[in-house]
Structure 1
Amino acid sequence: MMNKLLFKHIDNSALIVFRIIFGALIFLESIGAIFTGWIRRTLVEPEFTFNFIGFDFLQTIQGEWMYIHYVIMGICGLFVMVGYKYRISMLTFTLLWATTYFMQKSSYNNHYYFLMILSAIMVFLPANTYASIDVKQNPSIKSISMPNWCRLVFILQLFILYSYASIAKMYPDWLDLTVPELLMKSKKHYFLVGNVLQQKFVHYLVAYGGILFDGLIIPLLLWKRTRKVAFFASIFFHLFNSFIFQVGIFPYLSLAFAVFFFEPKVIQKLFLKRKPLYSEEKIEIPSHATIFKSLFVLYFAIQIALPLRQHFIQDNVLWTEEGHRLSWRMMLRSKSANTSFSIVDKATQVKTQVKLEDYLTKKQIRSVSSKPDVMWQFAQRLKSVYAEKGMDIEVYVKAYVNVNGRPSKPFIDSKVDLANEKWSPFKHHDWILPSNLD
């Protein structure tokens, strides 16, 4: 049964078309980061970046060279699009994008994470076996079919992403419109539509439309009777997100996935009219099938497990942020904070207030004000900076945070020296004060 599910060959038109679109999108993402100033603000101007904990070595490549880094990614995108040195180009892009992802958290969002794992998946797919320069240079790799797992991997990944995104929205502050209202309030300045976005019906559309779309879109696309309606709903949903929330290539990437839900004949007729349509449905079991099946199951087990870890960590993830990343929790809360850092020289016991702007950009200050792991990292940074001056210091934080418009509450135990605390990615840290969130 599993052999048939994974290794039955199907027409590969969808994968070929997706490769072309994907290559174009990652090219635009890479070059766009240069011309919009994102690289300058995020990876060049800061003295250091808040990398994922454990990836401190990536600090060594921060700076002006990141422009070259992104140019190379853009070139890889073009090569993927035309199918030139596909696997090398795709692998190179994946490694460079993963480097960017792990070296900074100030601009973190789930879309960057999704692009990283999607790029890694694309490395292993036979996406260059038709309509590619690779085929012209090596006709022996030409093929009009692919194993069914090449389609299934996208469907399962999207189902996990959207399902968790839908479930995460089912909490009081989303259901009573608190969060949608706050999100739309931040868009009040938008030309023409700003006032429309403040209307109650828009908040209901965002709140309940978001839950329904995320929860139902994959089943509706899979069912032939509802596929076209679901696709047109996707167009509206993703273009709305693109315009209102400005989330880069993700909305267009999401629309591109539609090619895996329509019948191969439809995709072939629309985009690859000269390509023969494969219809034999042969089952070709590779010699490494057992290993492949084990890795396939393990990968998706991890994808299912990662978003669940928040339920095994004390307190509310909206408050602690512990278990937030890698969990498809998208635009679920609004936070503001009033935070200050102070250092104490252990030798003299002299206490000094830290001027955050001397070390951090405005964007980094927003992160360090409300995210515990970033606070901890900044404390380690201060300890390192002062150690170079021959001083051994303690670092204390006073923070008052509000979540979703609630009154501000103390966030961090101001008596704990964060410079000498350890960080654990899978457990609660007691220096984060209780939330008392409903």
Structure 2
Amino acid sequence: MSETFPNIAQTSELLREGIISPVDLVRQCLSRIEKLNPKLNAFITVNSESAIAEAEKIETEIANGFWKGPLHGIPIGVKDMFDTAGVKTTAAFSRFQNRIPQKDAHAVTLLKDAGAILIGKTNLHELAMGTTSAVSHYGSVHNPWNTDYIAGGSSGGSAAVATNMCYATIDTDAIGSCRLPASCCGVTGFKSGPGTIDMHGILEGLPVEESILYLSQISITAGSARDAEIVFGILSSKKENGNGETTVKRESPKRGSAYKIGMVRNRKAEKNVESAFQEAANLLRSLGHLVEETEIPFSPSFDTRNIKKDREKFSEIVFKNYDLLILPTVTAGVPTIKEAVKNGPMALSPENTFFCNYYGLPAISLPCGRDRNGLPIGFQVIGPNDDGKNIFHLSNLFQSSTDWHTKRPKPN
């Protein structure tokens, strides 16, 4: 597989037309896993035999004209928080190392129904309770741009996407758990809004803190916004979530229309992060969009008794005046694994990401530069809790004018 790694849409067409084989595609991904996983530790479990068997079945389906859509035959990784029938689901926690669910999580079922091939279960910060993925029963996840550094967390195993070991991963995001690793590893990470994707089957049957039910949403890591949008289209639904919230349909602007974008003034960012962010904002301006500084309620009270009211109030205040918000994903450069272990589970600050979880806002992290050590930096595009079309539309416009998302590391 080439270093440029064709995106999901292109690869899907090649599969559909029989130009490439799903079996060859899976074998190529498995070859990269065999070569790179010892360095990066992105996967806990690799489904080699079942992935090849599924690819052989799909090859026959496609040859017979049976086509399920854009994920048919595409290798996908699954964060080891999602239950997978017959495959251990551990949350990177020692007490769960032999936990084998009998039933797939709802999101996993949707992926399988769409013809995606589950190539393995990705590593994470233990119990998804940290932003570094330096703490895991299976060992730290390493950043593919420099293995001395963290991959971010808690969904650190999504580093697999940056190194072409799979085309996308499904993850969870409670304080920035998908967007932070996406920023650290130079890929795209999308967090859905509440009620958009069914959450059932994430460590099913185990006790969960009430706050997590409000804050955590299913997320997607992919090579580009377009790839994330394709996966999101498969996973999203109109069903209510456990808190009785539903998403709101909004019309995307007509092609050529400008967005009014709020550039969060009370953001946290060290000098080189701010510089990369300003360049991204200037590019959006050059594309014809209005980008201006604005103050937002950035530090939520974090009182779940008030969360529904707070979410409604935030949307009324902010999205009355702006279509979208932008701000950096991280506050500072990527720390080393050694620094992360020393400084604790939140060594990578979630200050710029957490408010999206509290206020129930979908958000995407897009690569936009490098930190002082040459590791990736991302910025977020944030919208109201709707179908995400405006977020994806602007993100696709940005990525059509930059090449940050196409760059791939060669792990040391």
Q: TM-score range by the shorter chain?
A: under 0.3
Instruction: Give the TM-score normalised by structure 1.
Output: 0.22
More strand by percentage:
2
